Structures are given as structure tokens and as C-alpha cells.
Amino acid sequence: MVESPYPLASTMLAISASFSKPLSVLASVSLPGLKPIQTFEKKGSSANRNDSEPSQLPRSGMLLVLPAPFYRKEGKLILESQACNGIERWADHFGKVVVVAPMLPDRIAERERTIVWQDTATLAQPDRFELVPVPWAYSIKLFTKHYSSTRKLLAGLINRCQYLQFPLGGLFGDWGAVASLEAQRQQRPYAIHTDLVEDQVVLQLAQDKNWKSQLKSNLLSLITKKYYKGIIQNSSLALLHGEDCHAAYSRLCLRSFLVHDTHTKPEDAISHQAVAEKIQALATDRTLRICYAGRMAPMKAPLDWVRAVGEARDRGVAVQASWVGDGVLREEVQALIARLDLEDCIELVGYESDRHKVLQCIRSAHLMLFTHVTSESPRCLIEAFVSGTAIVGYHSRYAQDLTQDGGGALVPVHHWQALGKLLHELWHDRPRLIKLVEQAAVKRTRFNDEAVFQERSELIKRYLS
């Protein structure tokens, strides 16, 4: 997913006063905007009309406002492949799904190397979907410019959809949050969904930066925390992916549920025979095989990952590590690998669009080594269990919850030396390593898209009907 840029500290100061009032006040804020934008893919769609007044027709289907962007390439409207799988699963349960998502600008798309795209024309039963691109507005200027027209559009959609679900994804440019405010104004029940604690992530990513960046982040964190509090308190259902989110937000909504999010299929789970072969090979394979699959981004701390592998190597571990993915820190990662003389130990696979190849890489490893430093809930840890691979990395509530019945081991955040030491211990203690892999494999059938989307769909129907 593309990371949105944060506004400047001076801008944050200028708007902070507006958030000192109750969140309900924001529902009536009128910001300067453009003329109403023609954003719907279907000509003649009722969303192009001014239908924010009470609906005279029965409501149907689900409105889903995504942070994952649309992009138009060679005349085709494309969307991130896992988001496509997600909206297909929602349509399995709700029939009609109206999907709102920002349109990725060309200037960003040209340098984006981490998104696996899918043509929306290839969606299963495409007549189930109405696709609504809205402006990319991850700055004060753009958000202010497009606020009024986009909120008016959202008002019409909210009025005619039966079920409303709004993932939260930041402050400026987060149309899901704006849709939540509009749902409040229309006195419509809505569900929120989030997989990270945004106000904490902002602070965590600024820890090593200069005082100006930390000041900006402190302001943004305070405003985001208050903004989210109002949105979640007024929601009818909070779907919180991972224990970090559940611990931070569950007290704000009486109907809060800890859920998990994955796009792996039931058939992706490693077979019983493959697990047995993997365990048998562990008894004789003296090489410790490690993987990671994800972006080379600050929140993944790939430099700590490289240092942990280097620490294990320096302690005598015969290690082979692979990182599948690309990102903004790739050059720094390559330079550190060269400086630590780890070229023979670490392979940077790079961007891989074939998810089956990604899962095969995870399946062939003994351990998924991760160095996440923010309060998020990365799906790759669940994908490791699906692949019969144990997880070893930095502590978080999310990771602790996943491993409470085995399948992994954790060390404090930023303690890459301790992580390297743990790899050394597991390499020497083969029975312990085998036990972790066995425990991880037990969970392989617990997580799949059919199960997790059914669970969330039942909750939405129960509490939003």
C-alpha cells in the first residue's frame, strides 16, 4: 500500500484548533472545494445526482471506502490485487459493493514498485461492483480543495447503501474518516476497520528524527488520536485487526472485535505431507533458512533485519536469508549488506507479483524473521503460519497474540543484537526449532480469506442491520 505523506508542522498548528471541538462539529464544516467531480465508472450512476436527502428507494449492498488506490493505465482501471480479492469476498456476502478509493497520481505511480496491480475488469462477476475513484488528497491543500465535492458524493452513496464500512487510514486524504462523519450526520450506523494504531505509528517513525520532525509528529499524533476517538466512539461496530489495534481502540466502542485479515486461500495452506518433509529435513539441514516478504520501508526496519542476520552469522550460524519485496530503503539495505560482507548470506529477491512464488519462498524457510517497529498488524506473519514457517522478531501485542500458543519467539523492539542471538540459539537447539515449526504448521488452516471475511460479514450484518 502506498504510504501517504504527512503535512508540515506549521500546517498542523493552523488546523489543530478545529479538533478541540467535539467531532460532531466537523460533520457540518464547509471547506472550499472544486465543482462536483464526475468520478463514477458507470455512466448514469445515481451517485452522480444530488441524492443526499432521505432515500425513497430501499437501500442495498455495502459501501466500502478504501485507502488502497485506483490507477488508470492504458485505459484500464486497476486496483491492488489483494484489495480486489477483498472486495470479491465482500460481494460474496453482500451482493452489491460500491467501492470508493483515491486515484493514484501518475507522478507517484511512476516510482511505485511495491503494488501488485489487477485490472478491475477481471473481477469475478464484475456487475456486482460499482467503482468510484475520488481525488488523491494526502496534503492540507489537496484535502481542503476536494473536501466539499467528495463529501457531497459520499453523502449520496451513504444514503443508498444498506451497510457502511470505513477502513481508517490517516488524517488528510482519508475519505473513510470523512465518510464516517457524514454517516454520523445522516444518523446511519457504520463499521470501522483498522490494522494499525495511526497516532502511535506517527510517533514511532519519528523517534530517530530531528526535533522539528518530532514536533510535527507529536502534533499530528495528538490530532489523529482525537479525530479517531470521535469516529470510533460514534461507530456501531469496530473491527480491529490485531491485538495492538484492539488494545488501543476497543474501549471506545462497545461492539469491538479482534479480527484478523488475510488474503490467503484455503488451498494455500501447506499440506500435511509437506510439513512432515520440512520437519524431517530440519533434523539434518545445518543451514538456517530465513525469509521475509514485504516492503523495504521504515516501519519494517530492514536495516535492523540485515544487522540481525549479520549478528547470527558472526556467532557462527550458517544462515541463508531472503527478502522478497522492494521499497524506498533498498539502496541503504544493499549498502549495509556490502559493508557487513553479507552478500553470500542475504538474497534480495526484489519485487515479485506472483503470490504463489512468494508463498513458496516463505514455505521453503524455517523462520520468517521480522523487525516491525510500529503498532501495525502485518499479514505476512499469518502467511508464515499458512506456510508452516515459524515467526521470530520484534515484540508487539499483535505478534504476542499470534504466538501465545507457540509458533514463534520475540525480542524487544530495536534489539537486533538479541534477535541475532536468538537465531544462534535456535540454530544450535534443533529440537526447539522443530517444535516452533510444528506449532506454526498447526495454525495453517486457521487463517484464510473465506473464514475471516465470513466472520466479519456476520458481525456487520448482526450489528448494522
Where residue 209 sits, what CATH number does that domain have? 3.40.50
pLDDT at 36: 31
Instruction: Kindly state whether residues 291 and 219 are assigned to the same domain.
Output: no
Is 44 within the bounds of a domain? yes
Instruction: Kindly state whether residues 417 and 433 are assigned to the same domain.
Output: yes
pLDDT at 205: 85
Identify the residue with better confidence: 7 or 278: 278
Q: Which range marks the domain in which residue 380 is found?
A: 268-442
- Average pLDDT on 412-437 reads 97
- Average pLDDT on 404-429 reads 97
pLDDT at 54: 55
- How many residues make up the chain in this entry? 465
Instruction: Kindly state whether residues 282 and 369 are assigned to the same domain.
Output: yes
pLDDT digits 0-9 by tens, 342-354: 999 999 999 998 9
pLDDT at 1: 34
Nearest to 175 by CA among 188, 158, 160: 158
pLDDT digits 0-9 by tens, 365-401: 999 999 999 999 999 999 999 999 999 999 999 999 9
Instruction: Kindly state whether residues 160 and 205 are assigned to the same domain.
Output: yes
pTM score above 0.75: yes
423 conformational bin, left if phi > 0, alpha if psi -120 to 50, beta if neither? alpha
**Can you tell me the distance from the alpha carbon of 344 to that of 330, in angstroms, rounded to the nearest whole number?**
17
Q: How much is the mean pLDDT over the chain?
A: 88
Instruction: Kindly state whether residues 251 and 295 are assigned to the same domain.
Output: no
Nearest to 408 by CA among 388, 418, 420: 388
What is the CATH number for 299?
Answer: 3.40.50.2000
pLDDT at 171: 83
**Can you tell me the distance from the alpha carbon of 77 to that of 74, in angstroms, rounded to the nearest whole number?**
9
CB of 234 closer than 8 Å to CB of 255: no
Instruction: Kindly state whether residues 190 and 320 are assigned to the same domain.
Output: no
Please count the structural domains in the chain: 2
Instruction: Kindly state whether residues 285 and 386 are assigned to the same domain.
Output: yes
pLDDT tier at 67, thresholds 50, 70, 90:
very high
Instruction: Kindly state whether residues 122 and 217 are assigned to the same domain.
Output: yes
Q: Which of these ranges, 25-39, 46-60, 212-226, 385-399, has the smallest mean pLDDT?
A: 25-39
